């Protein structure tokens, strides 16, 4: 089988050759070789393997019959004659177990596929489920976070392009609550490893930035967007979209360095001792208190002074709850 691959390629050729011969009747070796794109002697070697294949049992009536005398020898006419292989020409029928295995494999492929591939896989899955009349229930499982964010980003970019409003279910970390709002998407931008949707928020009546990994759901509506897409560079506007609150500077020890990856920060300055000074906009002092107390003793508010005093007071009150009565 030199130059024609191994056993896998040979099986693929045989599965193609038998229906090809069944549909055309008797075919010359040269014509079959041309159709398969292999030398004529390779077709003969494949047919010698086919001669030993068939249904379980291994009796003469179970095996495919190939007229080898017509292919080799002094009386050979070079015409392929195959019989007792009608079952290979019939459409494949999958059992419920086989269909389940195929669908599970397709779902595994779908989770890591690009959007265009995912669309094809979804169509195949739909046909398989229709063919099995729903007899093969499949749990799609949990889609990887990266794939979910990629699809969300694609949907939002489509809404920007089509000038459609979007209904967002969004988690607001400053208030630790999930809100629902309608926005006019103006663009999607990536900065610091996170992606953001720039949009006009109809609830706030102002421009806002929404971090994609905090969007729990996004539904593109039929309503046209009132405000147009951003005309300037979104990267320059990333921290300029009417961010509510006051700039707060925190000092973070190495143990709290994850904050700069999780929250939207405006500036990060690494200190000689390895600590970080970060600036971020804070709209709710209660949120800042919870964050710093959660990070203690690895976070300190440097400025504004009033915010630092507020957090220190909250810390003393929290410690007071552990004091021994009467001590």
Q: Report the CATH number that the domain containing residue 255 is assigned in CATH.
A: 3.30.70
**Which has the closest alpha carbon to 111: 143, 66, 152, 83?**
143
29-38, 105-114, 139-148, 217-226: segment of lowest average pLDDT: 139-148
pLDDT for the residue 168: 93
Give the list of residues 6+ apart from residue 285 with CB closer than 8 angstroms, or none.
Answer: 307, 310
Mean pLDDT of the chain: 77
Within this chain, do residues 176 and 223 fall inside the same structural domain, yes or no? yes
Within this chain, do residues 137 and 206 fall inside the same structural domain, yes or no? no
pLDDT for the residue 180: 92
Judged by DSSP in three states, 151 sits in: helix
Which whole number is the average pLDDT over 297-305?
90
Residue 312 lies in a domain: yes
Residue 125 lies in a domain: yes
**Number of folded domains in the chain?**
4
pLDDT for the residue 29: 87
Residue 1 lies in a domain: no
Give 84-150 as a DSSP string: S-GGGTSPP---HHHHHHHHHHHHHHHHTS-HHHHHHHHHHHHHHHHHTTT-S-----PPPHHHHHH
Place of tokens 């508010």: 301
Question: In CATH, what number is assigned to the domain containing residue 203?
Answer: 2.30.30
pLDDT for the residue 267: 82
143-152, 246-255, 313-322: segment of lowest average pLDDT: 143-152
177-181, 191-195, 239-243: segment of lowest average pLDDT: 239-243
Last residue of a domain, one of 176, 198, 232: 232
Residue 167 lies in a domain: yes
Within this chain, do residues 65 and 37 fall inside the same structural domain, yes or no? yes
Which whole number is the average pLDDT over 92-120?
73
Within this chain, do residues 134 and 188 fall inside the same structural domain, yes or no? no
* pLDDT tens, position by position, 199-241: 888 987 877 888 888 898 899 999 999 888 765 555 444 444 4
What is the reported pTM? 0.37
Gap between the Cα atoms of 17 and 34, Å rounded: 12
Instruction: Identify the H or E element spanning 197.
Output: strand 194-201
Residue 26 lies in a domain: yes
pLDDT for the residue 224: 94
70-74, 75-79, 117-121, 253-257: segment of lowest average pLDDT: 117-121
Residue 327 lies in a domain: no
Residue 43 lies in a domain: yes
Within this chain, do residues 177 and 220 fall inside the same structural domain, yes or no? yes
pLDDT for the residue 1: 38
pLDDT of residue 146 exceeding 70 = no
Sign of CA dihedral 140, 141, 143, 144: negative
Is the distance from CB of 292 to CB of 317 less than 8 angstroms?
Answer: no
Tell me which residue range forms the domain holding 83.
7-88
CA contacts within 13 A on the Cβ side of 187: 15
pLDDT of residue 53 exceeding 60 = yes
């Amino acid at each position: 089988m030199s130059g024609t691959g191994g056993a896998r390629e040979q099986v693929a050729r045989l599965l193609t050759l038998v229906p090809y011969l069944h549909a055309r009747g008797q075919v010359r070796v040269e014509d079959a070789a041309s159709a398969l794109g292999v030398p004529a002697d390779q077709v003969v070697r494949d047919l010698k393997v086919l001669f030993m294949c068939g249904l379980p049992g291994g009796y003469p009536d179970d095996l495919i019959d190939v007229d080898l005398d017509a292919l080799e020898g002094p009386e050979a006419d070079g015409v392929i004659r195959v019989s007792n292989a009608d079952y290979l020409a019939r459409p494949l029928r999958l059992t419920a177990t086989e269909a389940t295995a195929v669908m599970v494999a397709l779902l595994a492929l779908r989770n890591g596929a690009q959007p265009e591939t995912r669309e094809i896989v979804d169509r195949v899955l739909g046909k398989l489920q229709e063919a099995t009349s729903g007899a093969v229930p499949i749990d799609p499982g949990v889609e990887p976070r990266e794939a979910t964010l990629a699809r969300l980003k694609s949907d939002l970019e489509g809404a920007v392009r089509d000038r459609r409003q979007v209904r967002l279910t969004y988690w607001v970390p400053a208030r630790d609550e999930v809100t629902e709002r309608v926005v006019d998407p103006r663009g999607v931008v990536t900065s610091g490893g996170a992606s953001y949707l720039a949009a006009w928020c109809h609830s706030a009546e102002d421009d806002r930035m929404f971090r994609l990994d905090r969007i729990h759901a996004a539904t593109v509506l039929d309503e046209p967007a009132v405000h147009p897409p951003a005309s300037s560079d979104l990267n320059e506007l990333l921290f300029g979209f009417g961010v509510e609150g006051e700039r707060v500077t925190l000092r973070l020890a190495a143990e709290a360095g994850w904050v700069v990856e999780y929250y939207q920060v405006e500036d990060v300055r690494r200190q000689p001792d390895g600590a970080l000074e970060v600036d971020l906009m804070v709209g709710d002092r209660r949120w800042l208190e919870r964050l710093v107390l959660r990070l203690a003793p690895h976070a300190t508010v440097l400025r504004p002074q009033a915010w630092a005093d507020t957090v220190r007071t909250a810390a003393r009150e929290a410690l007071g709850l552990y004091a021994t009565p009467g001590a």
